[in-house]
Structure 1
Amino acid sequence: MGTVTTSTVELNDGRRLPALGFGTYLLSPGRQTQDAVRTALDAGYRHIDTATVYGNERDVGAALRDSGLRRPEVWLTTKLWNADHARPLAALETSLEKLGVDSVDLWLMHWPVMRRLDSWKAMVRAREEGLAKSIGVSNFLTRHLDELAASSDVVPAVNQIELSPFLYGTRADTLRTCRDQGIVIEAYSPLTKGARLQHPVLEEIAAYHAVTPAQVLLRWSLQRDFVPLPRSSNPDRIRANADLDGFTLTNDELRRLDALDEGLTTGWDPAGAD
């Protein structure tokens, strides 16, 4: 092992998304975000995920510029926050200014809140105008996706949801809907925010492959065709979480991990969204 995975997945709009991303949720604005993102870029990540509500877009942009990488080399995602559904295009312009870029690679609707159908029309316009090269949603379950499909001919390229083996069966219906509609799943909190890293099944599989439980969870995501978005401020963990190409989980190991479902959500559950 020792290299970041460079695989990509094809989106329904024809673009290719790096199969591993670096999440920035709960990274504090300022040096913590800048240092973590710069470490991730130095380690080989080429997919950075942020959001308006994270409050760190400006620092993500600064880290990208400091990295010396050309803008096209890094996939950049941000999200439309709930309070901005009355002015989605203005909110995107603000995000672009903070990030210091002319466009983002992916703009997601952060939650399925009221006015979401009107906001989706604005997001389609943003794509047409080149402000967001791809558009998608986050925390949408089957009923939200079906509602959107009934109102628009534009299918989201991505649905970013919380996902790990401990939530896999619970989200089966949404995963099936995304597969049927050609929507790529991005998995946030793929490491359960550390809540299940000491699970005996994880530890056993990790010991067999001489990797960490976190690496097992991320490898599971990749082999299940999800795009995981691990987040850390620890440089060693940032680098280790990208080191996934030197081992492969067997079919039996994948099935054992699939069976760990317990409906675990580590944040707000969109099952309660109207």
Structure 2
Amino acid sequence: MQRKLTLNDGNVIPQFGLGLYQLPEGTETQNIVKTALELGYRHLDTSHAYQNETSVGQAIQDSEISNSEIWITSKLWPSDYEQAPEAIERMLKRLKVKQIDLLLLHQQVGNYRKAWIALENAVKEGKVKSIGISNFDGERLVDLFNFADIKPSVIQVETHPYHQQVELQEFLKPYGTKIESWYPLGHGDKNLLEEKIFKKMAKKYNKTVAQIILRWHIQEGIIVFPRSTQKEHLAENINIFDFELSCSEIKEIRKLNKKQPYFTMTYEEQEKNFLSWKLED
């Protein structure tokens, strides 16, 4: 039975889900979502930038599972920030829902303050349940938290055993904001996946190294949604709730922290790349 976490706004989110990054619009994504739902997935993480929201929404509509049982996370791209209210309306139509469970600001460039006000208003209007941010750090992270009337429920950032976001966790504690992980398996880094400690634990629990790392995320209170397109891997990824790492094993994994992100784009590079990217509806 997979876990759920209570956010700082009182809403309850499935801690484990499916990431839909780089999955194309169309039947392929619909089939992947259908399979995931059949396997017990109840959290789907998409985005306007992924350009597959319509397929995600259709797959949910086609399933026999009530919309109320499925948590949908999506994200506004910076090109949406200036007209965020209208962008939210279009997102609701693409996803074929009356309310988005969690809506994030995808990047820390553009008029994120104006967009955040729109997210807060969407919560008050019942169009969005919870709101948060993605890929914010440094001065822009602090500015957003100081500015916001409704503090972010989650922040989605690169998190894995080589980059455990310890300082960020300390910053978030007073707000009760949860971390969501992307690159949960370290961007497939061979060095990480071949760490002796993971191989030892995998043998002990009769699990794969990936399952050990995903279980570590769960026990650290991190929301995680690995991406997969194969039924075998989808089933394997979610099969992490029948064992538990010991306190000493968690401590050993914490020692692997190198504060080593794989994404290292500067503010200036983010502004140059992200603000010029216009998306189709």
TM-score by length of structure 2 reads: 0.90
Residue 106 of structure 1: CA displacement? 0.5
CA drift at 1:152: 2.5
1:112-261 correspondence to structure 2 within 5 Å: 112-168=108-164, 171-195=165-189, 196-261=192-257
Query: How far apart are the structure 1 equivalents of 2:113 and 2:66?
Result: 35
CA, structure 1 residues 180+27, in 2 after alignment: closer, same or farther (shift >3 Å)?
same
Q: Any idea what SS the aligned residue of 2:193 has?
A: coil
Contact residue 145 and residue 152 of structure 2 kept, 8 A = no
User: How many correspondences in the alignment?
Assistant: 268
Q: How does 1:33-112 map to 2 (within 5 A)?
A: 33-112=29-108
Deviations 1:24-77 (A, max 9, x none): 011122222112111111000111110000011011111111211111010011
Task: Mark the CA change 1:156 to 1:231 in structure 2 (over 3 Å): closer, same or farther.
Answer: same
Output the TM-score relative to the length of structure 1. 0.92
Q: Is the 8 A contact 2:180 2:222 kept in 1?
A: yes
CA distance in 2, matches of 1:101, 1:175: 32
SS at match of 1:161: strand
Identity across matched positions, percent: 34
Cα separation, 1, equivalents of 2:211 and 2:26:
28
C-alpha distance in 2 between matches for 1:56 and 1:146: 31
Q: Where has structure 1 moved over 4 Å in runs of 4 or more?
A: 268-274
Tell me: CA distance 1:259–1:32, structure 2 relative to 1, closer, same or farther (3 Å): farther
Deviation at 1:142, TM superposition (A): 4.9
Structure 2: which amino acid aligns with 1:146?
A: V
Per-residue CA deviations over 1:3-29 (Å, capped at 9, x if unaligned) read xx4311111111101111211011122
CA separation of 1:49/1:154 partners in 2, compared to 1, >3 Å: closer, same or farther? same
Deviations 1:70-94 (A, max 9, x none): 1101001110101111111111111
The DSSP-based 3-state class of the residue aligned with 1:78 is strand
Runs of 5+ consecutive residues of structure 1 not aligned to the other structure: none
- Matched residues in 1 for 2:237 and 2:116: separation? 33
**Secondary structure of the corresponding residue to residue 87 of structure 1:** helix
Alpha carbons 2:18, 2:227 under 8 Å: kept? yes
CA distance in 2, matches of 1:43, 1:191: 21
Supply the distance in 2 between the matched residues of 1:107 and 1:268 (Cα, whole angstroms): 24
| Greater relative contact order (CA < 8 Å, ≥ 6 in sequence) | 1
Secondary structure (helix, strand or coil) at the match of 1:108 reads strand
Between the aligned partners of 2:130 and 2:91, the Cα distance in structure 1 is 15
Q: Report the Cα offset of residue 270 of structure 1.
A: 6.8
Separation in 2 of the partners of 1:133 and 1:40? Answer: 23
In structure 2, the CA distance between the partners of 1:145 and 1:181, relative to structure 1 (3 Å rule), is farther
Q: What is the aligned-residue RMSD (CA, Å)?
A: 1.7
